[in-house]
Amino acid sequence: MAAPMRTLRRKAATGLLLLCSLPALAHPGIGIVVDKAGNVYFTDLKQVWKLAPDGTKTVAVPNVHTHELYLDAEGNLLGEHLWYESAQQKFWHYPWKLTAHGKLERLAPPEAGFDYKYSLVRDAAGNQYLMREKRLFRLRPDGREELVAGGAATNKDGTGAVAGFTDVIWIYAARDGNLYLTDAGRLRRVLPAGEVRTLPAKFAGRKRATLWVQPRHALMGMAVDDAGNVFVANYGAGQVEKFGTDGKMTVFHRSTYPFGPTGITFSGDVAYVLEYAIDSVKVFKIAGGATTRIY
**Residue 9 belongs to domain with CATH number:** 2.120.10.30
1-15, 66-80, 198-212, 239-253: least confidently modelled range = 1-15
Task: Print the domain residue range for 264.
Answer: 5-293
Nearest to 42 by CA among 51, 118, 64, 161: 51
Taking only the tens place, the pLDDT of each residue in 116-150 is: 678 999 998 999 999 999 999 999 999 999 999 99
Q: Cα separation of 264 and 30, whole Å?
A: 8
Q: For the whole model, what pTM was predicted?
A: 0.88
Count of domains for the chain: 1
For the sheet with 290-293, list strands across it: 260-267, 270-277, 280-287, 290-293
Position 231 pLDDT exceeds 80: yes
Question: What does the pLDDT read at residue 193?
Answer: 94
